[in-house]
Structure 1
Amino acid sequence: MASKIVVIGAVNGRLTDVFAKLTTLHAKQNFTFCIIAGDLFANPDTATQANQEDLAKLLRGDIIVPFTTYFAIGRQKLPAEVIDVLEENHGELCPNLSVLGRKSSMKTSEGFRIVAVGGAHSSITDEAGVSQYASVYTDGDAQAAGKGFASADILVTSDWPAHVQDGAKNRYTTTLPPSTDSIAELCVSLKPRYHFSASNSHYEREPFFHNGPVARLITRFISLAPFGNAAKEKWIYAFSLEPSAEPSLTLPTGCTASPFNTGKKRKLESQESDFNSFRFANGATDHYQPDYRRQKRPRNQAPLTPQQCYFCLGNNDREAHMIGSIGTEVYLTIAKGPLSTRQTYPDLGFPGHMLLILMDHHPTMSAIGEPGVRQSTVTEMQRYRNALQSMLAEKSKGEDGRAKLGAVTWEISRYSGVHLHWQFLPVPVDMIQKGLVEAGFDVEAENSNYPKFAKTFKEMEEIEEGNFFKVMIWSEGMRKEMVMPLDGDFRFDLQFGRRVMGKLLGLADRTHWKDCGQTTEEETVDAKAFREAFEKFEPSEESEPDADPAIAGAV
């Protein structure tokens, strides 16, 4: 069940006003708890008479805190009388009001995991004698704060994470608040659903996703202005949250890649050309020609690591705008330099050429070590392909109620490969049902002196124990698969699937993705149009791997 939570910025000693406001809001909204992300109290050295009177009222019970409230340690030191009460009452200042501490983690009774790091950053090395309520923290404090938590629902920090604005369109318009790498590293480690801070002005960054299949994939960073500020900037943020909720299968509008990956994996000049040949495009024969014999690789060529691979989610932030959906083991993107264009299938509203990519870095399905993970990955790939096919069928239905589009999906699976993915391409149904697609692959293989395609279940099963090229052909009521072995002494063109389909569709001049470049703006428009079309077809764990009963058992 979702809980209503409210977070506010710095209060700076205006205790009567803020708790009166919270009392009014709570009567209407019935909040579960409140977090004060900035300084609750005024600086003792500069506090006004009104600030001092409000503090005295709070400590003797004349100011009522209406519901459970946690306050962070801000950048200003706490009043001595506040520290005395906190130490005596183990962090509780008065009924319904407790401190989060300068490095703390807790789990609420509702099941929410909250981590906090408060105070100004300090480089001190000897923390002996430093009070847990002191308004300072070290890099070690930031590392220790989330210890024991694999993830967090809410992270509260006085400092911003360094580089949080990288890759964002929303910008902080005044002097930037202090930021540190250790807070950024804490955010990467915990992958919180919400990260709150306080500043002189309001700032809300676009949501960003973290690399890898984790429980809390999307983080929203929000820094709130002070309570009652003269500019009337946003000082309060209310939202509903469920501690046990699964992450959404779709990215929020405007979502970007994590800003904390930028600049940490500097790409070599050689990577810029060679590795770009793999991501979103399935390779380029003029850049990379490995030996395709089973389990062999040129002596001077080391296997690519996940940090080098452009298919590994998060390594190429510039392409984040192309992502269409993120699952658990798989993610989906529009193709870089798509073979088809918007004009090829005008009813779709986007080119339709898609890539289904493993979240983890494996050259083949069989390379996934854990059988359970391997099976769940295969299942999710099939679910995504079925969802794409269902979308095509609905979007291309004619007046007779029959779909005008089918699809061809192809896969290159090699032990010496880089990062397994499937390419998905819409195809006119007539071309499929007349056998033109199947014949096109057969003829092109023969012309290239490649092995023949296997088309019986037993033959395909044997071939798929080694290196292979696989074609999956689908239309409503029909399914066909064909597999070519790649274990022989021949050089296989990574653009083979694209070359065949280019000839069939009259798009031979678009065989290579580099000849089909788009601007970032064009790619962004295509990705947005795809996400809107695909939203209702997003696969779920309840989706059957083969959702079309008309093709069950078909050959």
Structure 2
Amino acid sequence: MSDRVEKILVCGNVEGRLNQLFKRVSSVNEKNGPFSMLLCVGEFFGSDNSQWVPYQKGKLKAPLPTYILGPHNHHTREYFSDMKGCELAENIIYLGPSGIYPCSSGLRIMYLSGRETDKKKNDLSFVFNDIKALETQATNKPTIDILMTGQWPNAVCGFVKKPEGYDPEADGSTMISRLAYNVQPRYHFSGLGEVYYERLPYRNHKILNEPTRHVTRFIGLAKVGNPEKQKWLYAFNITPMVHCEQSELNKQPPDVTECPYSESINTQQRSQACAKVSGAQFFYDMNAKFDDTERGKKRIGDGDKGGERKRLPPKPTGPCWFCLASPEVEKHLVVSVGNHSYVALAKGGLVSEHLLILPIAHFQSTSDLEDDCREEIEKFKSALKRMFKKKGSSVVFFERNYRSQHLQVQVVPIPKNTVDCTLETFMNIATSFNLELDEIPKLSDISQVAPPGTPFFYTELPTGEKLYHRVKKNFPLQFGR
């Protein structure tokens, strides 16, 4: 199991002191490394960011891959070119407003930028539905190794002594307390308190009433270069939870305490469930769904009598390469993320601009989709048609719901001078395979023709024709290609 161990560094508020930070990181890495990454919790930029310029211009490089949270103050907002998440300089990556970053080693890092607000969300804050979205992302596979938040959880000091110089009950976040309680990270780091505080580990189960679970360790870090010389750089080893033996993972240290959070924290914020959520994120965005009707914008799924309960997507039976919350997704291929679907480059595409449109949640085919997801996919189709038209191309869309687990709408641009022969080409190839392609009305929808669970092949041609084949047996999997 030793070859699975990750060595990680975490720092508190940097506030522009990059030279001091990276000099220390280089020294620690040389003496005790190699470390795989540096995580920065809190404010990365400050009032004086002159030391940032050589890193931004590529003259200097961070000694380790450095992952940072977003801005917490208005005067640092300008240094983030894309608030959804981006690489700010070589080896310095802004993760995004919130999400889960799955490392190739199996380590899963959850991150949340900004400060809590019960008002309108902006680039410096998060709202209740951001917390709910993170909890949803962790539900299918609750293996969060590390939680990164700028703000502290307000209730973290229950059953233990508070730190000197900072009161989390006054300045911390109730929402983050709830998040930590529900996702049960193994490590939780925060930096905005600007004091060093390593809480005694706490258990995530009720003794005698629940099976033994792993403990959580909360660490608050001081500001880089603080005059009090409080600890601002933390080094630790961790084996990703997915590679841990359960007995080893659930060992209880002798100084473990009860969990500082309680179930009541889940009911305290229910009134905020209708807070408006906006914005996407770099890796994935799984915001809660809403029914924006005149009945009062009631939240779907809470049993409201005024709204229709929506069907939940089925869970995959095994690892899915296309569910956006899955660690198997190759997120470097993702192009754009919407509220219910996303666009990605095809791996091994027919042409360099071969794309896929996929639902964020697990749906097998277009026939299974909810209306809001289907509408968003149609918007993506329209936008891609316009884009490729400007580039002098037309588009063929096709979908195969046969021996496939997750819906993939294939998007293949073709030269305009080949458009007139696409219908003939499809028909000729179908004939060579002894397949029947039926043309369905142009204004119809595939869900009207193929009920959920029906295996089929379906294509939309740039000339407007829609072709459908009901798969029975021995369908060539590469027919569309």
Give the TM-score, by structure 1 length. 0.42
Give the TM-score, by structure 2 length. 0.49
* Structure with greater Cα Rg: 1
